[in-house]
Amino acid sequence: MDSSLLKTLQESIRDIPDYPKPGIMFRDITTLLGNARAFRRSVDELVHPYSGTGIKKVVGIEARGFILGGAMAHQLSCGFVPIRKKGKLPHDTVKIAYSLEYGVDEMELHRDAVHKGEPVLLVDDLIATGGTAEAAVKLLQQLGANVVAACFVIDLPDLGGRKKIEDLGVPVRTLIEYSGH
Ligand code: AMP
């Protein structure tokens, strides 16, 4: 990645200390999304290795993954599929429980949203512990999709999420790293 993109990312991502609780540095991408140049360049960079490779769907994780994923799908001329918190999708779903910092939650995917062997890209704004993305990959693999890569704008490498996803056989692509939580 060229250094001007890194600078654009650094300047457009807002840091909010102690949100949502003390000790967490929240990496706020709403400022990136609101900046035309930063939004376009991030989406271009995320999809760059995959254009012309036959990706059929971009799968976004609720909620910030929807915004990035919709733009990525448009760019790749492919479909978009949402993975949502439980109870939000109206048709027949597959579900998986995943751990949050306190307790567990469930996410769902429409059973007919992806097909066996279909090449898909997964996207979210940020990978921390990797628990959220790991659950999403497992749902997609359960339906037989070929998860070509998992893409994130931000990696928090100290939390080890990348390895969890790579251990499922899925390469991880991220644009910028921040140390700490
Ligand atoms: P994890 O499951 O631990 O990888 O957490 C990833 C999810 O939590 C993503 O959907 C992120 O949007 C959100 N998240 C976790 N940590 C942060 C952080 N420091 N700043 C912003 N979002 C975060």
For the chain, which residues make up each domain, given as ranges? 53-177
pLDDT value, residue 18: 95
pLDDT bracket for residue 5 (50, 70, 90): very high
Over the chain, what is the mean pLDDT? Answer: 97
Pocket test for ligand 1, best of 84, 125, 132, 162 (most atoms within 8 A of CB): 132
* For residues 110-135, average pLDDT: 98
pLDDT confidence band for 39 (50 / 70 / 90): very high
- In angstroms, rounded to a whole number, what is the distance separating the alpha carbons of residues 25 and 156? 11
- Provide the CATH topology of domain 53-177: Rossmann fold (3.40.50)
Q: Is the CB of 24 under 6 A from ligand 1?
A: yes
Is residue 2 pLDDT above 90, yes or no?
no
pLDDT of the residue at 148: 98
pLDDT over 80 (residue 22) = yes
Q: Note the pLDDT of residue 1.
A: 79
Q: Is 64 in the pocket of ligand 1 (CB under 6 A)?
A: yes
pTM of the model: 0.97
Nearest CA to ligand 1 atom 17: 26
Query: CA angle, corner 13, sides to 46 and 60, nearest 5?
Result: 40
pLDDT tops 80 at residue 102: no
**Torsion over CA: 157, 51, 149, 59 (sign):** positive
Mean pLDDT across the stretch 8-27? 96
Cβ–ligand 1 contact at 129 (below 6 Å) = yes
Query: What pLDDT digit, counting tens, does each position of 55-81 carry?
Result: 999 999 999 999 999 999 999 999 999
Q: What's the pLDDT score for residue 67?
A: 98
Mean pLDDT throughout 39-55?
Answer: 98
What separation in Å is there between the alpha carbon of 126 and the centre of ligand 1?
5
Asked if pLDDT for residue 101 goes beyond 80, the answer is no
- Cβ atoms of 19 and 181 within 8 Å: the answer is no
pLDDT in tens, 132-160: 999 999 999 999 999 999 999 999 999 99
